Chains A and B, each alone.
Chain A
């Protein structure tokens, strides 16, 4: 998971701590720069802290603020909101964190922010092996080295290694003997063939 670099502008200690707790419970790695007073020069603060997510209690930046946007570095601005807030403030932000919401809602709001920050939707990892991967798995399970496999399939050792990494990631199996067991269980090789 991508490490979030967060800047938070919020006076309440409890809220800041609560956000940290929530993020750790979501297993989201992050670092957090905390500001607990009114911010006059937001662009300068951003240059200094280089966050990719900024959580702001709108009270601490003033109502007439224009959020500094740059094209090259994508920063997500999220408002920390409590109760009813004027829509014109809300509209300045990409996301909202409704702090009086329940845990599930808050987690969802964070997930949205993280997704927006990463610039793409989370793709569901495909865990089924391709045909090519199965043929490589078979040779690995039979005890061939990366070199042997490359020669046999007319591909470079480097390509074999890339396939192997993908196989390991998809299956959650790292060692040759583990892959062999998998291959036997799934009839990719027969137990007698092995050794």
Chain B
């Protein structure tokens, strides 16, 4: 008997014990009715061939292991960045449980959102009654400062009109007329979570700005975009802006909401942009979007008020941070302080110290469009070579922009850009044209296992490593952390490669 109270074996060691191995072998041989091992191996080998790659890339309808989620997830994330705001997702109930658990699994934090729980009746008669009761209950139970409404695909397919529903609900006394209920249609069959973010941001801003005119002041609006590392990043950016002495408003900031302390009190809401801040953001000097592809409609709407805007592709790495700081400086007239030049210098110092290990490393990078752009750029700054850049939710525009970026550096020459492809495509690409490392999220662990290419987790979602998102990846400090992540993996691989005594005693160096 393998189990004992003294040393309790859980699944990881338990099922390796001979009793279980024997049992599983027996199950396989007698009952599973599987394909012969040789056949399985033959197909397994074939899935890594060029022939398979071509067939795989020819796929038009089936999507396998995509690196994207549906719009309402982005909307729920966006709403979580506003003070005391409850997400209300109009449609079927299950979806909301999904968004909540998805975000909880990444942040290791509570995530609140409610649903109008539409069922078959609503499919026939529309979901107006669900909206009326739902808004009233949400307000009564959770006492939010505002309720941000988005939609699951059910509500979209039956064509519920949020604007009219909310008006009618207010007319029926569900919530007071002057109570803030911004909304966004977030059809799951259009775009991805980054568009859901965009739609919700625009919905909230429009709710408070519509019909007003802007009087440009001195403050900057910062719109971070969908960022699983918002906890570390937003705080880091605030530190940088404070150092510069800039006045700013984060339009959407989930950093406190997704990082509440454990002190005995459960906070359903924490931090976030207040309604007053959203209102006064209209009179800002300029609005900066940190993630271009998360905010096209939002920025267009803001431009409509005559505000100056600028967008970035996830300011991670040296030049991306430089550009952000110079833009902020240009817009506000504040100089970049010496302290930040020192931070930059220390980052460059670290990169120089380690350049011999970084130079020429080949990376496959996947994730949301702005992240992939930034990551590829930073990798090239270290002397690394991106060879596959993939965004399942990447558009033609993104593809073109990526190509321009890659063409700007000799380190980008060998790189191919894959817009709209999924991680099963990436498996074929890496099986035929391998990289040294994969940069992505937790889902990449299946690629790592299949192809024996080490994975570096640097973007949402990270389910199987803890707390990475609590540290920044943006700014010079963030870049330093990313650099260390790359270096640790590079050097761990070197040690793992050479740690067999009597076989590879050489190369197992103490100092590198």
A binds B: no
